[in-house]
Amino acid sequence: MTTHNRRYYIQILLVFVGIQVLFWFNTNDIRPRMTVVPNVPGEEAISVLSFGDKQALFRLMAFQLGNAGDSFGRSTALKKYDLNKVKLWFFLLDKLDRESNLLPSMAAYYFAQTQNKPDARHMVEYLYEHAKDRPEKKWWWLTQASYIALYKVGDSELALKIAGMLRDVEGIPLWARQLSAFVYEGRGEFDAALKIMETILENTDDIPQHELNFMQHFVEERINRLDSLSKKARKRLGIRGLQ
């Protein structure tokens, strides 16, 4: 290449570099729109994207959801999350893996802590749907759902409906079975609370002594219904007669 030709191409290059600089001035403020919670894809799209490895996709999507809104140096307040979308994401990802406790943990311990308390209802709905058909295995999430419904959302009816599912479930801690009694107590419905305790006392074998002591304390001192306790329940507590 002769010197003349080389200079010619350098000049053209400089013109294009100048155009690029002008282009930059006009476009450097154009930024990608960062959503907080991404839109929920369809079930089929998710199935296809898994490439035969549903577990890996589940973990990847859950990881992305857990970090949603906090990527690229951002830190987003929970009140700005569309928790209805998060709930739909959870329903979708449950189709990939229903056994994992990752999503219920995120729902109960993270997203439900939103500053916008009514929004926590979406997390209650998810936890309920996730656990309702296997309470003996997922009872913990039902207790979480009931707690959030009562203390965050302020819906004691909903809390009661969820807690009531645990009353007759075998093999779970007694306090979980008694949960609806505590909700009734909070509502001032002591007779209903008594009924729960009576049912548990009458139909459960092998109640440890400390649990019996607690139930007696609850009936006697918290709801003041020892007089109304059934004979069978009193016998179970070892109470001989009224004093």
Partner 1 sequence: MVTNILYILLTALRDRLFIVLICAVVFATLISGALAGTSLVESREMTLAFSAATSRLILVLGMTVFIAFHLRYAFDNREIEVMLSRPFSRPQLVFSYWLGFSLISLFMGSVAIVVIYIASPIDMLGFASWSISLIMELWFVSAIAIFTSLMLNSAVASVLTTLAIYLLSRMMGYFLNMLGMRSLFDEPWLNVVSHEIIEKLSIIVPRLDFFAKSEWLIYGISNPWQEIMLFSTQAVIYIPILILVAIVDFYNREF
User: Which residue from 14, 17, 48, 77 is in contact with partner 1, where contact means CB under 8 A?
Assistant: 48
Q: Is 204 in the site for partner 1 (CB under 8 A)?
A: no
Selection from 174, 127, 167, 169 nearest residue 147 by Cα: 127
- Residue 168 has phi, psi (to 5 degrees) of -105, 15
User: Which residue from 20, 21, 52, 188 is in contact with partner 1, where contact means CB under 8 A?
Assistant: 52
User: Which residue from 53, 136, 157, 168 is in contact with partner 1, where contact means CB under 8 A?
Assistant: 53
Q: How far is the CB of 97 from partner 1 (least distance, A)?
A: 7
C-alpha atoms less than 13 angstroms from C-alpha of 168 in its C-beta half-sphere: 4
Torsion angle of C-alpha atoms 158, 160, 164, 165, degrees rounded to 10 = 20
Nearer CB in complex with partner 1: 6/98: 98
Site string for partner 1, 63-102 (x = CB under 8 A): x--xx-----------------------------x-xxxx
Torsion angle of C-alpha atoms 174, 177, 181, 184, degrees rounded to 10 = 150
Q: How far is the CB of 156 from partner 1 (least distance, A)?
A: 28
Q: Is 160 exposed, middle or buried (0-12, 13-18, 19+ CB in 10 A)?
A: buried
Contact set with partner 1 (CB under 8 A): 44, 47-48, 50-56, 58-60, 62-63, 66-67, 97, 99-102, 105-106, 109-110
